Amino acid sequence: MDETPFQMDTRGAFSMPENHKYDAGYGLTEETIDYICDAKGEPDWLRQFRKDALKKFNEMPMPYHWAPEGIRNVDFENFRYYLSHGATPSRSWDEVPEDMKRTFERLGVPEQERAFLAGVDAQYDSETAYTNMREELQKQGVIFVNSTEGLKEYEHIFRPWFGKVIPVGDNKFSALNHAAFSGGSFIYVPKGVKLAQPLQAYFRINSESMGQFERTLIIADEGAELMYMEGCTAPQYDSATLHSGVVELVALKGAKIQYVTVQNWSTNVYNLVIQRGLAMEDAEIRWIDCNLGSGLTMKYPAVVLQGRRARGEVVSISLAHSGQLQDTGARMIHAAPETTSNIVAKSISIGEGRASYRGEVKVLKGMKGCKNNTECDALLINPISRTDTYPAITVNGNASAVQHEASVSQVDEEMLFYLQQRGLTRAQAMSLAVNGFINDLVKEFPMEYSVELRRLIDLEMEDSIG
Amino acid sequence: MDFPQNMSMEEAFALAEAEARLNAALQESKVRFDKAEMPNRLNEDWRFGRPHVYAREWAARFKDGENCFEYVGFDNSDEHITRLTADDEDLRQTEMLMPTIGSDALLALHLKRFGDGHVLYIEEDTKEPICLGYGTRWAASPSTFIMVAPGVKAEVAITYACLEIGYIFATCNIQVAEGAELKVRVNTWGDGADGRCMLITNIQNMGGKVAHLTEYQGLRWVREETVAEIYAPGSETKLFSANKLGENAVLDQHTKQIHHAGGATSDLLYKNVLDGNATATFAGNIYVAPGAHNTDAYQSNRNLMLSEDATVNSLPGLEILADKVRCSHGSASGPMDEEQLFYLLSRGIPTYEAHQLIADGFLNEAIEKFKG
Amino acid sequence: MSLVIKNLHARVKDGAPILNGINLEIPKGEVHAIMGPNGSGKSTLSKVLCGHPDYEVTAGSAEMDGQDLFAMSVDERSRAGLFLAFQYPVEVPGVTNANFMRAALKARLPEGEEVDAVSFYKELRGKMKQLGMDPKFTARAVNEGFSGGEKKRNDILQMMMLNPSYAILDETDSGLDVDALRIVSEGVNAMRAPFRSFLVITHYKRLLDYIRPDVVHVLYQGQIVRTAGFEMVDYIEQHGFDFLKTSEE
């Protein structure tokens, strides 16, 4: 077996020399925040807001009482909190600095934009290098900018929702993000506008010891519909990198938001992300989440079902190989009657990899006619692989039904034998089996992503078994 | 120390030694208590247990003087039962080493008054269940030790009665040898006043078959911690619970199925019917240790909700570190099935009786499986 | 004395209408059959008469020996003498057949009176034997793990124990093999009496060859479109229900 640390997305495993105009240095203090605010040209209220959040961050405890052990190694002093060329993104790839442009070209972003996207936001370390959206959407009143621009140009829409779905004091990492955020998208889709093609964000970490704290707010007004996709990669370094984004979704009456993530960070990245959506009456929020990379991921996309008949769904795939802990899952809070939610999570543990499902489903007091269905399935590839399931379900009252089923299994040896007898290598056979295991979930991803996903899984199997 | 008049030197010496051991043991318990943390809200094992209310009340009660009375039903099995004595160093150590699920400090409190209880060493098949009973109107802390010899079949029934405002803190250590078969049915009840109970059970399965059933009724607060440790291939461990919870009842159950050895099976089915403002918490965990391959482990928590004020918390966990494991868990909480109810009504059974029948049937499923 | 249904309209709760004005009279002592294509409303009619909560009556009436059915709860209708053999008998986990039947019989006794255990078991065992059922079924949970045929027999057993005045058999023949069909039919025929009526819902002639109906109704799009004698059964067996569509055009 190959002993070298596995690097999955071979296309992401490269780096460009550092060439920053702004560098806030290591650690997060009031001075760092002043530096960030000056570099971004932010108003005083935001400066104060960030400093208040920093205070909270310093006061709040780490969630050691429930979080996986690995989080104890996170050392906030050893990250760099702001690295950028400047806070103004380009609207054309031609204006993007050469090294960044080459990076995104190698990752296939401009190509995808031409092929099937309605708009792209490409973030490089702390700032967005490029944002653009098709012209017809602009005419329909769709807003798609980075968070800095969103707060500047569209404060009247952004600010009322900013930190409302995920408040500053929600937990230590939300306080951290509120203090240090930079980059991420602000999207507003007006009443009744339905986007036929997805919007995409690409998060790229290039520099060593980087802390990336993107901030995304998506508001779908009444009856609006959109799909948003994010991809993430970083080069492998010896030192740790921190990615701690906050994503807030607001689906107003009858709106529909689908948020797709394919996370493929290198294994030196701590991926500690908070994602939560608020679904009002008859609205629907779906998180389609795929975690392939990062050494430690903690990520539990949530939907707060705030309006009658709101629907929430999380579809989650995670893959953990040696040196990885994927602590992923979902949260569903039924805060209105007749709300329904669905969670389907599948994980694959390879080598000494560990995949954990952690979930919370809550039906609040007095809520009638709520339904949740949760299914978690784990596949163990090697005898030393590990999987865990930690659901927490709270049901109030006798008018709601909540159901959770989980199973753990291995690839059927008989099936492998059958396939090998027909001439497939063990790795190919295993890859077929794994693809079969997650097949129904891969279909939930947009076509271009699902092709990529399958390719990555094939690579993974060849590397760990072949 | 007062010695009886007609005691020989040897006897007096032995007695003095025993008392010295007891004092040392009490001291050790005290140290353990001082070291252990009282359950608090940041302790995940007390996530829904409201330790700031219940555990503290508990500690306060056990710090006061005790007023315990107990009764024992011997039936036809005198030969299997001996009274536990406070100077039984081996058993005290056994209890000292009992795994708890977040209640170390409380167990230490219990150890301080070690000495009440019974030891069952069962070397021959029992014809009828061995019955043990404990009751109190204030506070009691009985310990039960059950050891079943290889190849022996036995049944034990334990009753705990928490009368009026009685608190019972009971521990039960069960050891089942290879080829042995044991059924333990634990019935804990109160008279509807403010009876409370804490039950810590440790099952060590060395290759036998164990079935364990707990039932609670008429109690204000119950915390159950049941740990089944599986040490040998071929072991079969089955854990059941069936409870009807009414107004003001709080049930907080924590279980662990620990597979140290591979090739064994464990199965858990915990069922509750909740009425009034009852609250039930189930936090279970299946742990399959590295190398415990070919394990079959199942866990299921089902709750039937009869009232809009009832609350259920269900945390069925899995931790799998071995290969060729067949493992699943499920949790379902919901109202009475409309079709079942309609079927019973359509046969002329009135609504109230139909509800009772379905609820009893729901719990019966666990009891019948226990009976096998 | 009869079961009289007048202009009955019903729908799935908050859903589409299924019964669109049914008129039907079943006098005591008669056996009526209802035939009709899938989706014509046969099972809905049986459930509405028994008061299934999924359906709501939007117009019309149903009287059983002068009693207003729709004013009664599900269990009151049963105790008044209405019985439904389910198309899909329901599994009731943990409740034994014996306890279930005792509870149903006890509900028919005056307040405070108990079912006599000895005669109850004697009667139950006897009827089970008649239906070719294993006596062990008394201790098994109601319908749980039963095959389709066993469930149907269990429903007929309940009918024999409860002695209804009006019994509706909803596709009792589906899922039964030839022998079981004969045994079940014999059980039903043995219960035919001047003080009892049957409404037999089926797709097929084979059941009606055993339980010969006095009157045959054809249900289509929620209405009784034909009422005839046994000759209708033969006609449908040969030609199917296509004639309904052509007559519509």
d(CA A307, CA A77): 42
What would you report as the CA-atom Rg of chain C, rounded to the nearest whole angstrom? Answer: 18
What SS3 class is residue A376? strand
d(CA B345, CA C75): 4
Chain B positions touching C142 (Cβ under 8 A) are: 343
pLDDT in tens, A287-309: 999 999 999 999 999 999 999 99
Of residues A130, A124, A49, the one with CA closest to residue A92: A130
The distance of B351 to chain C (nearest Cα, Å) reads 8
Across-strand partners of A378?
Answer: A347, A408
**Is B264 in contact with B234 (CB distance < 8 Å)?**
yes
Closest by Cβ to C79, choosing from B348, B358, B361? B348
d(CA A244, CA A71): 13
DSSP state of A75: -
Across-strand partners of B116?
Answer: B114
Chain C positions touching B351 (Cβ under 8 A) are: 73, 75
Per DSSP, chain C holds a count of helices (H) and strands (E) of: 9, 12
Is 70 exceeded by the pLDDT of residue B70? no
Which of B1 and A183 is assigned the larger pLDDT?
A: A183
pLDDT band at C221 (very low <50, low <70, confident <90, very high): very high
Mutate to test the interface with B, among A65, A389, A410, A411 (most CBs of B within 10 A): A389
Query: B332 vs A380: CB contact, 8 Å cut-off?
Result: no
β-pairing, B143-148 vs B181-190, is unpaired
β-pairing, C2-12 vs C17-27, is antiparallel
Find the range with the poorest average confidence among A350-359, B297-306, C99-108: C99-108
List helix spans (H) across chain C: 42-50, 74-79, 97-106, 117-130, 148-162, 178-191, 205-210, 231-239, 242-248
What would you report as the CA-atom Rg of chain B, rounded to the nearest whole angstrom? Answer: 21
DSSP state of B192: S
Of residues A186, A7, A115, the one with CA closest to residue A449: A115
Closest by Cβ to C74, choosing from B342, B364, B365? B342
- Tokens 């609205």 found at: A283
Whole-prediction pTM: 0.88
Closest by Cβ to A388, choosing from B290, B311, B319? B319
Gap between the terminal Cα atoms of chain C:
38
Q: Which two tokens stand for residue B96?
A: 């000292």
d(CA C84, CA C169): 6
Sign of the alpha-carbon dihedral angle for A110, A114, A115, A120: positive
Q: Which residue of B has its CA nearest to A383?
A: B323
Task: Tell how far CA B25 is from the center of its chain.
Answer: 24
d(CA C246, CA A275): 60
Of residues B307, B311, B322, B316, the one with CA closest to residue B268: B316
Of residues A234, A203, A199, the one with CA closest to residue A218: A199
d(CA A412, CA A435): 14
Find the range with the poorest average confidence among A308-312, B92-96, B127-131, B294-298: B92-96
Do chains C and A touch, with touching meaning 3 or more CB–CB pairs less than 8 Å apart? no
The distance of B118 to chain A (nearest Cα, Å) reads 37
Q: Side chain identity at A462, as an amino acid letter?
A: E
- Sequence-separated (6 or more) residues with CB below 8 Å from residue B74: B81, B131
d(CA A94, CA A132): 12
Q: Which two tokens stand for residue A406?
A: 């989980």
- Tokens 């170390």 found at: B104
**Is A318 in contact with A349 (CB distance < 8 Å)?**
no
What pLDDT shows up at residue B303?
97
What SS3 class is residue B272? strand
Closest by Cβ to B357, choosing from C77, C79, C95? C95
What SS3 class is residue B81? strand
Of residues B219, B197, B167, B172, the one with CA closest to residue B62: B167
d(CA B283, CA B300): 11
All partners of chain A with 3 or more CB pairs under 8 angstroms: B
What pLDDT shows up at residue B68?
60
d(CA C160, CA B186): 41
Q: Which two tokens stand for residue A234?
A: 């970083």
A342 Ramachandran zone, left/alpha/beta (phi>0; psi -120 to 50): beta
- Give the other-Cβ count within 10 Å of B260's Cβ: 17
Q: Write out the H or E segment, with its range, that includes residue B58.
A: helix B54-63
Q: Side chain identity at C232, as an amino acid letter?
A: M
What SS3 class is residue C187? helix
d(CA A212, CA A342): 31
Q: Which residue of B has its CA nearest to C141?
A: B361
What SS3 class is residue B288? strand
At A23, phi and psi to the nearest 5?
-145, 110
Of residues A350, A372, A354, the one with CA closest to residue A302: A372
What pLDDT shows up at residue B242?
97
Distances (CA, A) of A407 to A86, A290, A440, B300: 49, 19, 16, 12
pLDDT in tens, B122-153: 999 988 888 888 888 888 889 999 999 999 99
Of residues C160, C217, C216, the one with CA closest to residue C183: C160
d(CA A347, CA A328): 9
Query: B351 vs C162: CB contact, 8 Å cut-off?
Result: no
Q: Which two tokens stand for residue A152?
A: 């500047």
Crossing angle for the helix pair C97-106 and C148-162, to the nearest 10 degrees:
30
Q: Which residue of A has its CA nearest to B43?
A: A65
Q: Which two tokens stand for residue C77?
A: 């209708």
Chain B positions touching C90 (Cβ under 8 A) are: 339-340, 342-343
DSSP state of C72: S
DSSP state of B37: P
Interface of A with B (CB under 8 A): 65-66, 365-366, 368, 378, 380, 382-410
pLDDT in tens, B27-66: 776 676 677 778 887 888 888 888 888 888 888 887 765 5
pLDDT in tens, A348-398: 999 999 999 999 999 999 999 999 999 999 999 988 999 999 999 999 999
What SS3 class is residue B111? helix
Which of C65 and A412 is assigned the larger pLDDT?
A: C65
- Sequence-separated (6 or more) residues with CB below 8 Å from residue B21: B87, B89
Task: Tell how far CA B267 is from the center of its chain.
Answer: 16
At B22, phi and psi to the nearest 5?
-60, -45
DSSP state of B85: -
What SS3 class is residue A120? strand
Low-confidence ranges of chain A (pLDDT < 50): 1-9, 466
d(CA C8, CA C27): 18
Task: Tell how far CA A363 is from the center of its chain.
Answer: 25
Across-strand partners of C190?
Answer: none
d(CA C154, CA A430): 49
Q: Side chain identity at C165, as an amino acid letter?
A: S
What pLDDT shows up at residue B304?
97
Instruction: Quote the mean pLDDT of chain C.
Output: 91
At C46, phi and psi to the nearest 5?
-65, -40
Which of B76 and B260 is assigned the larger pLDDT?
A: B260
pLDDT band at C249 (very low <50, low <70, confident <90, very high): very low
**Is B173 in contact with B164 (CB distance < 8 Å)?**
no
Instruction: Quote the mean pLDDT of chain B.
Output: 88
Longest dimension (CA), chain A: 70
Q: Which residue of C has its CA nearest to B367?
A: C94
What pLDDT shows up at residue A2?
34
Across-strand partners of A302?
Answer: A276, A331
Q: Which two tokens stand for residue B180?
A: 């042995």
DSSP state of C110: -
Distances (CA, A) of B183 to B101, B121, B232: 23, 14, 18
What SS3 class is residue A324? coil
**Is B307 in contact with B279 (CB distance < 8 Å)?**
no
